[in-house]
Amino acid sequence: MCISICFISSTVLNAQRKQYVIVLDAGHGGKDPGNLGNGYLEKNIALNVAQLVGKNLLQENDIKVVYTRYEDVFIDLWKRGAIANEAKADLFVSIHCDSHTSNAFGAGTFVLGLRGNTKNLEIAKRENASILMEDNFQDRYKGFDPNSAESMIGLSLLQEENLDKSLSIASLIQNNFALKLNRNDRKVKQDNFQVLRETIMPSVLIELGFLTNKNEGKYLNSTNGQNQMANAIADAIKNYISNIKINTLVNDVVEGNVLIDIEFKVQIASGKNMVDTKAYNFKGLQNVERIKVGAFYKYYYGNTSDFKAAKIAEGKANRKGYKTAFIVAFKNGASISISEALKL
């Protein structure tokens, strides 16, 4: 669907003036120290890095930084998400340090998703354990048990339409860790972190490295290590925002006309494996489209400019067995929210 507008739209002009709100969440705090590998305090390292990321970002005129905590205090997981939601944040970044009984090392970045492998599940359970320190957690989380695999499996995405954007910023962060800092790359992964489940914008959770690894713990506890990790995160965020601006501003402009192309698709699958889009691989669905986003491949069905047609396609995908299929929207090839697409 192409809409020709004979003036530069307010959306384009506003993008030039927009202030991007980034919420930085230092994990743990106060009575919750996080992991204590080699005697280091996760809560302190996470706070230091979050503050350094914020200091870097605030050098940009169009970035506003909001912290979930700026000192050593305990903040409920639900409240961290609420802070981001109330700030109408464009991005939520939660910063943590990892631990393991082995000598594991390396940095990893997580986005919200269905339960991954056993190792990812253990990380999610460990970070979600802060729930048990909150007042009235039974009421707030409606019986959610952070130590239960069954509870983890039952979690669902609140904002599926933000997944692609979350994967995009996560990939930028991971690339900086691996390529600029030469850190061991533990890749971008999906799992059920409660703090991500509470947000309604693109969100990532970063595991800076393993405090339980002697060398990595020493690095992360050092001024140099914290500065390097913080700069890598901040640079990725600035790159992400630049990409948003490009996707917003680069419309087909012909003789003063802005052409807007809106597409709806049904996302039926996502994963690291590249699968041939033949119908027999997708339960008979024809014309499946495959797009690579960071380290993941997204599989879409039912490309259309008509939202009603997209709903019909979603229903067909559901009947074929893709029970978690959902509709996504694109403007000129860039992912946007369903609500924005319907307004356009």
Pick left, alpha or beta for residue 27 (phi over 0 → left; psi -120 to 50 → alpha; otherwise beta): beta
320 residue type, one letter: K
Query: Which pLDDT score, from 0 to 100, does residue 53 have?
Result: 98
Query: Which pLDDT score, from 0 to 100, does residue 92 have?
Result: 95
- Name the DSSP class of 4: E
Q: Does domain 10-245 have CATH number 3.30.9.10?
A: no
User: In whole angstroms, what separates CA 209 from the centre of its chain?
Assistant: 18
Secondary structure class of 290 (helix, strand, coil): strand
Whether residue 85 is predicted with pLDDT greater than 60 in this model: the reply is yes
Rounded to a whole number of angstroms, the distance between the first and last alpha carbons of the chain is 10
Q: In the chain, where are the structural domains located?
A: 10-245, 252-343
Query: Which pLDDT score, from 0 to 100, does residue 273 have?
Result: 83
* Pairing outcome for strands 203-210 and 91-98: parallel
Whether residue 332 is predicted with pLDDT greater than 80 in this model: the reply is no
pLDDT tens figures, 7-40: 334 444 455 557 899 999 999 999 999 999 999 9
Whether residue 159 is predicted with pLDDT greater than 50 in this model: the reply is no
Whether residue 146 is predicted with pLDDT greater than 60 in this model: the reply is no
- Mean pLDDT for 316-321 is 89
pLDDT tens figures, 185-200: 999 988 778 778 778 7
23 with 84: CB under 8 angstroms? yes
Q: How would residue 157 be classed by pLDDT, with cut points 50, 70 and 90?
A: very low
- Mean pLDDT for 167-173 is 92
* Pairing outcome for strands 252-254 and 257-271: antiparallel
Whether residue 206 is predicted with pLDDT greater than 90 in this model: the reply is yes
Q: CA-CA distances (angstroms) from residue 115 to 23, 49, 203?
A: 25, 28, 17
Average model confidence (pLDDT) across the chain: 80
Query: Which pLDDT score, from 0 to 100, does residue 123 have?
Result: 44
CA distance 85 to 259: 32
Please compute Rg for the chain using Cα positions: 21
pLDDT tens figures, 106-134: 999 999 875 443 444 454 455 455 545 65
CATH code for the structural domain at 252-343: 3.30.70.1070
pLDDT tens figures, 210-265: 999 999 999 999 999 999 999 999 999 999 998 877 665 443 333 344 456 788 99
Query: Which pLDDT score, from 0 to 100, does residue 248 have?
Result: 55
pLDDT tens figures, 270-304: 888 888 888 888 888 988 999 888 778 899 999 88
Query: Which pLDDT score, from 0 to 100, does residue 152 have?
Result: 38
Query: Which pLDDT score, from 0 to 100, does residue 281 have?
Result: 86
Query: Which pLDDT score, from 0 to 100, does residue 149 have?
Result: 41
Q: How would residue 145 be classed by pLDDT, with cut points 50, 70 and 90?
A: low
Secondary structure class of 225 (helix, strand, coil): helix
Residue 290, beta-bridge partner list: 299
241 residue type, one letter: I
CA distance 234 to 262: 31
Please state whether the predicted TM-score (pTM) of the whole model is above 0.85: no
CA distance 25 to 154: 25
pLDDT tens figures, 38-83: 999 999 999 999 999 999 999 999 999 999 999 999 998 889 988 9
> Which residue, chain included where needed, has tokens 């990892």?
98
Query: Which pLDDT score, from 0 to 100, does residue 17 have?
Result: 59
